[in-house]
Amino acid sequence: MAGDAVKLLGAWPSPVVMRARIALNLKSVGYEFVEENLGNKSQLLLQSNPVHKKIPVLIHGDKPVCESLIIVQYIDEVWSSGPGILPSDPYDLATARFWAAYIDDKWFPSLTGIAKAQDDGAKKAAIEQVSEGLALLEDAFRKCSKGKTFFGGDRVGYLDIAFGCFLGWLRVTEKMNGVELISRSKTPQLAQWAERFCADPAVKDVMPETDKLAEFAKVLFAKFKNPPSQ
């Protein structure tokens, strides 16, 4: 089963697609990356994820697996001979899943809220919300890492992937709004972690360049502020 062909349907700017790419890299799994045009979704994507019709989709042999964190877990379980991604301790796993859900449900939406803000007051409030979330994640890092290099310990793990995939978009937000969200003064441990994460061999080749991502973001954010009329 582990030897079957692997395809990943995705798009280069997508942070959640990056989760699957990092996990595959950590396990040294060869795969074909199929770039999707989200304005004109392929028949393969629609057939592979008929419920949500979203990326990423991992196709292993002829079996599709959907949703980024589910894909990460699937990769960890199928290619079990490589370094473990999910924590083996049940409590550590539960904690990692809690924070991953917080990042997806609360923190990242607050980051996109900066781009969607219609005035300076709303933008200031969104920035404060992001900063408050980063303070919580700074504390979570101290507890989860147990004094080691990553959330997952000595190497990149599940929570590192869940949070680290958003660092490119965080950098773009900082660049476009003239703010510093992760810094050595406010979140020193996250600042050091972010540098280590982005330099990791499994990450560095799939982390988008900030300038390239910023150009993409300008187009995307313009749509937030000027939605098409009905």
Residue by residue, DSSP assigns 120-170 as HHHHHHHHHHHHHHHHHHHHHHHHHHTTSSBTTBSS--HHHHHHHTTHHHH
- Contacts of residue 163, defined as CB under 8 A and 6 or more positions apart, other chains included, come to 99, 100, 103, 137, 151
Look at residue 228 in the predicted model and tell me its pLDDT.
53
Query: Residue 44 in contact with residue 9, Cβ under 8 Å?
Result: yes
Query: Residue 15 in contact with residue 198, Cβ under 8 Å?
Result: no
Please name the fold of domain 6-78: Glutaredoxin (3.40.30)
- The span from the CA of 74 to the CA of 133, in Å, is 28
Look at residue 219 in the predicted model and tell me its pLDDT.
86
Class of domain 90-220: mainly alpha
Measured CA distances, 174 to 156, 193, 217 (Å): 24, 17, 12
Domain boundaries, the chain: 6-78, 90-220
Look at residue 226 in the predicted model and tell me its pLDDT.
63
Look at residue 225 in the predicted model and tell me its pLDDT.
59
Q: Render pLDDT for 6-20 as a digit per residue (tens, 0 to 9).
A: 999 999 999 999 999
Across all residues in the chain, what is the average pLDDT?
Answer: 94
Tokens of 149: 């290099």
Does the pLDDT value for residue 229 go beyond 70?
Answer: no
Query: Residue 52 in contact with residue 66, Cβ under 8 Å?
Result: yes
| Section 135-155 average pLDDT | 97
Q: Render pLDDT for 4-57 as a digit per residue (tens, 0 to 9).
A: 899 999 999 999 999 999 999 999 999 999 999 988 999 999 999 999 999 999
Q: Render pLDDT for 77-107 as a digit per residue (tens, 0 to 9).
A: 999 988 899 999 999 999 999 999 999 999 9
Q: Do domains 6-78 and 90-220 have the same CATH topology?
A: no
Does the pLDDT value for residue 227 go beyond 70?
Answer: no
Look at residue 230 in the predicted model and tell me its pLDDT.
47
Look at residue 14 in the predicted model and tell me its pLDDT.
97
Using pLDDT thresholds of 50, 70 and 90, give the confidence band for residue 222: confident
